[in-house]
Structure 1
Amino acid sequence: MSKNILNKLLDNISCRDNVINNLYSLIGHKDEPLPANIFVHGHIATGKSLVIETMIKYLDYKHSIINCIEHSNVRHIYDYILMELSSYKLDSTNSFKYNAKCDNFMDFINNLKTIFNSDNNNENIIIVLDKCERLRDIDLNVLNGFMRLQELTNLNICIIMISDVIWEKYRVKIGAIEPLRIHFSQYTKDEMSKILLKLKNNDYNDGFYMNYLNLFLSVFYRFCRDINELRYMANINFLKYIEPIKNGTCNENNITLLWRNISNVLKTNLEVIYLRVSSNDFHESTKLISEIESTTKLALSFELPYYAKYMLIAAYLASYNPVKEDKRLFLKISSKKKKTKRNNNVNCKKITFNTQCGPKNFAIDRMLAIFCTIIDEKIDVNANLLAQIPTMCQLGLLAVVGDATLDEPKFKCCINLDFVTVVAKTVGFNIKNYLYDFNHH
């Protein structure tokens, strides 16, 4: 029986024979105790989740597979795991709430023991923590607790952690358990061809499509190893590849003419691979990416310090938000306004966005107040921080308005919305949440 399961896995999942054999040797034998924890790591789109989820499905163990990014706190993770392991269903009869109390890790352990009582503690249980790097941000102790779960519950339970990050990045405390590690290497060019051939969605024969894939990967493989992106781009570009065949200018055997027709298109689409641009007008796509890249490169070329980026964001917000809206936008206090009846016969004025007009002047005190509000930490506004302001003026990001010798000169921000959006993304800040143009309703 176990041999049949292994053969099914090897037949259904391409180019992952080594890791399938290694993983199966650890968890595939139902009559053997499971390892306490396994750490699976590798680049994105290398088949980590696919292999583990498919293997657990074939083995038919009690299991819970959870994507840690989808849960905002630890309690949600505990509840989700317990519901899956206990086969508890959320419906109107239980008001779509889980009935077990699970406020901390000890409650989680006690609930597990209740589900799997001592008479049935040999049952194989697997908990898969996909994207487990998220747990480092939620609570440093949670991951260490999960890794000791077999010891703490005395159950035959295995924690499988899946991550794009290497294990060395998880060593935050002395005494952490070292898990068994399985590495998923990136697919080679030949392996990528086999997988893309298996995923093809056209009626052409395998030999013809394999020739196309060899041409396609000769351009794309060096710069992209993500199988999902490559599959999408392979399908989009194949339509262009077969155009000469469909209009009758050549046949399937004329590889030279087909390559000559597609080569420039492949090189053009390589630049927009991560933008998911699928347009018949490839010149328009090239223009789009060049405009985006020029703004992005300009914004990133300044290499501003962390706090200077927030200072620049605060300056932009001060320039393009009305002063009277600061309290509502930054203190999250919205005053209820009385609704007034409007006369339908009166012509509606055309709405003009602040971000489409020129920047307004602002005082330095207002900019610093916004800066302290938007940054997620307590910070002392000292001389080193204030020294960033003249530096940004020299770079042309800010401009002094009026007499610079006054005690409190006025400033204005000299960058546009696209520029500040790129800067905000580098610090994980969504600037549109704080702009009046996007929050005035």
Structure 2
Amino acid sequence: MTSLLEQPGYDEEKLQMVAEQLLCREDQAGLLLSLMGQPQQYCYPSIFIYGHQASGKSHVMHVMLKELELPHAIISCVECVSSSLLFELVLFSFFGSEASSLLPRSPSLSDFVRIYRQQCLQAPATQTRYIVMEKAELLRDADANLLPALLRLQELDNVSVILLSEISWDKFRPNTGCFEPLLLHFPDYSKGDLHQILSQDSHPKYSDDFYSSYINILLGVFYTVCRDLRELRHLVRHTHTHTVKETDTHKLWRNIEPHLKKAMQTVYLREVSSVQWEQMQQMEEKEAGALRGLSAHTHVELPYYSKFLLVAAYLASYNPARTDRRFFLKHHGKIKKTNFLKKNEKTSNHLLGPKPFPLDRLLAIFYSVVDSRVAPTASIFSQISSLVTLQLLTQVSHDDQLDAPKYKCAVSLDFICAISRTVNFEIVKYLYDFL
């Protein structure tokens, strides 16, 4: 509401435009605007804004700085891989390319401070300059003196540093100590807030009431597991159907229920893009349900060798170790299944679940099933770590056991069959349970 954004020194029409774009974040925007004060006044030296992902932190700052026409520099700490790039972007945003070109090839913090002070003397600030640091938690890995210097930058000029982070200041605070910023928390959107925001993106073919009911159904399914506005907006756009009449709510639920089940398995992973989602739906219609029953995880895109590593991990988890010679050794002779079936092994390995396997066995099977010769480079080992990060593999040994780590494969049979088809590998022929 406009009343929450009343502040002397700003145009009322601009404040109205800001309020219209900050739906369900009027309270936070009003508090932030009161801290910023009038454009020519000194703002608080540093403000630390924290909250979960997609809670409106960056959106509020972008809208306020742009619509109120305040001098600012928005820096992404993900893109700034070095301090020199950070210094260059700040100087370029405030003083132009000539100022940023004054930096040496590998500038230090003292070089940046010296050039910044010189530019401030030549062009003193008539309004408060704002430096917004997105993903600011990455600054903890930067030089130890960088963050304390940024928080005290107002000693050189009328500038305020605003840090946007997903973690609290207690976990962010450096051990060396620094100037304490002013803390401002952005809470998660409530269910009513999400419903109000998502309802703004109404579909032109449906009435507002019908689209609002559809949003209510989707939030009833996903709100307990996902409150990320971007994820929910992605789901809303790609799960509705165009073939249902507005009055037929039962048919609407039947049509979107399978899509919601698939989306529940891929929420937050974003393994299915918008184009892939539409292609997947068209393929299901053409093939008359040939892919029905496979989860949306079957369409995950992995590097070529990562797929073979996952196939090898599945074989190592569900095949007894003594059968590796039968499956992967060329001159093994004819060995029947009954020859190496133990008396107590009467239950299917798939019913018992995946078993742990050592790293050397995984690599041995991998080099046997992959078509081309692959050198044991660091890239192969990094891809194993990536599979663990994606929770496709599970490390069952302790982190301190570097000599013999053990893993488990955490994917289903349908999943691995779909992955093996993408690399033209018939995994069923190598599974002990299907001999």
- Mark the CA change 1:237 to 1:386 in structure 2 (over 3 Å): closer, same or farther: closer
- Cα separation, 1, equivalents of 2:18 and 2:399: 58
Residue by residue over 1:174-193, the C-alpha shift from the partner in whole angstroms, topping out at 9 and shown as x without a partner, is 53222111111111111111
Q: CA deviation at 1:112?
A: 1.3
Alignment of 1:70-85 (within 5 A): 70-85=79-94
Q: What secondary structure sits across from 1:182 in the alignment?
A: strand
1:132 has 2:136 as partner? yes
From 118, 121, 130, the counterpart of 1:117? 121
- Mark the CA change 1:215 to 1:176 in structure 2 (over 3 Å): closer, same or farther: same
Partner residue of 1:223? Answer: 225
Alignment of 1:59-70 (within 5 A): 59-70=68-79
State the identity %.
27
Q: CA deviation at 1:17?
A: 0.7
- Cα separation, 1, equivalents of 2:33 and 2:182: 13
For residue 26 of structure 1, what is the amino acid of its counterpart? L
- Cα separation, 1, equivalents of 2:190 and 2:216: 13
- Cα separation, 2, equivalents of 1:12 and 1:388: 52
Q: CA deviation at 1:169?
A: 1.2
Residue by residue over 1:208-256, the C-alpha shift from the partner in whole angstroms, topping out at 9 and shown as x without a partner, is 10011101111111111111111111111112xx42x3xxxxx312323
Does the aligned pair in 1 maintain the 2:44–2:160 contact within 8 Å?
yes
- Cα separation, 2, equivalents of 1:257 and 1:191: 27
Aligned-residue CA RMSD (Å) = 4.0
From 345, 349, 352, the counterpart of 2:371? 352
Partner residue of 2:208? Answer: 206
Partner residue of 2:107? Answer: 103
Alignment of 1:261-276 (within 5 A): 261-273=255-267, 274=269, 275-276=271-272
Does the aligned pair in 1 maintain the 2:103–2:115 contact within 8 Å?
yes
- Cα separation, 2, equivalents of 1:119 and 1:145: 21
- Mark the CA change 1:385 to 1:150 in structure 2 (over 3 Å): closer, same or farther: closer
- Cα separation, 1, equivalents of 2:129 and 2:167: 25
- Cα separation, 1, equivalents of 2:93 and 2:188: 32
Q: What secondary structure sits across from 2:136 in the alignment?
A: coil
Does the aligned pair in 2 maintain the 1:48–1:184 contact within 8 Å?
yes
1:24 has 2:18 as partner? no
Residue by residue over 1:46-90, the C-alpha shift from the partner in whole angstroms, topping out at 9 and shown as x without a partner, is 111111011111222221111011022111111111111112279
Does the aligned pair in 1 maintain the 2:43–2:159 contact within 8 Å?
yes
Residue by residue over 1:11-42, the C-alpha shift from the partner in whole angstroms, topping out at 9 and shown as x without a partner, is 12211011000111111411321110011111
- Cα separation, 2, equivalents of 1:216 and 1:313: 42
Q: CA deviation at 1:140?
A: 2.4
Q: What secondary structure sits across from 1:271 in the alignment?
A: helix
- Cα separation, 1, equivalents of 2:399 and 2:200: 57
1:252 has 2:246 as partner? yes
Does the aligned pair in 2 maintain the 1:127–1:158 contact within 8 Å?
yes
For residue 372 of structure 2, what is the amino acid of its counterpart? F
- Cα separation, 1, equivalents of 2:221 and 2:399: 46
Does the aligned pair in 1 maintain the 2:132–2:163 contact within 8 Å?
yes
Partner residue of 1:4? Answer: 13
Alignment of 1:86-101 (within 5 A): 86-88=95-97, 98-101=101-104
From 180, 183, 202, the counterpart of 2:182? 180
1:168 has 2:162 as partner? no
Q: What secondary structure sits across from 1:70 in the alignment?
A: coil
Q: CA deviation at 1:289?
A: 4.4
- Mark the CA change 1:118 to 1:268 in structure 2 (over 3 Å): closer, same or farther: closer
- Mark the CA change 1:285 to 1:188 in structure 2 (over 3 Å): closer, same or farther: farther
Unaligned stretches of 5+ in structure 1?
91-96, 246-250, 303-310, 323-350, 361-365, 376-383, 398-414, 420-441
- Mark the CA change 1:122 to 1:256 in structure 2 (over 3 Å): closer, same or farther: same
Residue by residue over 1:83-118, the C-alpha shift from the partner in whole angstroms, topping out at 9 and shown as x without a partner, is 11112279xxxxxx8343371111111211222217
- Cα separation, 2, equivalents of 1:5 and 1:269: 39
Does the aligned pair in 2 maintain the 1:318–1:367 contact within 8 Å?
no
Partner residue of 1:284? Answer: 291
- Cα separation, 1, equivalents of 2:32 and 2:399: 52
The TM-score, its normalising length taken from structure 2, stands at 0.64
- Mark the CA change 1:123 to 1:221 in structure 2 (over 3 Å): closer, same or farther: same
Does the aligned pair in 2 maintain the 1:315–1:367 contact within 8 Å?
no
Q: CA deviation at 1:317?
A: 6.0
Q: What secondary structure sits across from 2:145 in the alignment?
A: helix
- Cα separation, 2, equivalents of 1:125 and 1:73: 22
Does the aligned pair in 2 maintain the 1:320–1:354 contact within 8 Å?
no
- Cα separation, 2, equivalents of 1:386 and 1:105: 38
- Mark the CA change 1:289 to 1:63 in structure 2 (over 3 Å): closer, same or farther: same
Q: What secondary structure sits across from 1:269 in the alignment?
A: helix
- Mark the CA change 1:158 to 1:318 in structure 2 (over 3 Å): closer, same or farther: farther
- Mark the CA change 1:16 to 1:140 in structure 2 (over 3 Å): closer, same or farther: same
Residue by residue over 1:103-151, the C-alpha shift from the partner in whole angstroms, topping out at 9 and shown as x without a partner, is 1111111211222217724531111111111111122221111001112
Q: CA deviation at 1:319?
A: 7.6
- Cα separation, 2, equivalents of 1:354 and 1:210: 56
The TM-score, its normalising length taken from structure 1, stands at 0.63
- Cα separation, 1, equivalents of 2:167 and 2:212: 33
Q: What secondary structure sits across from 1:219 in the alignment?
A: helix
- Cα separation, 1, equivalents of 2:37 and 2:292: 49
Does the aligned pair in 2 maintain the 1:40–1:160 contact within 8 Å?
yes
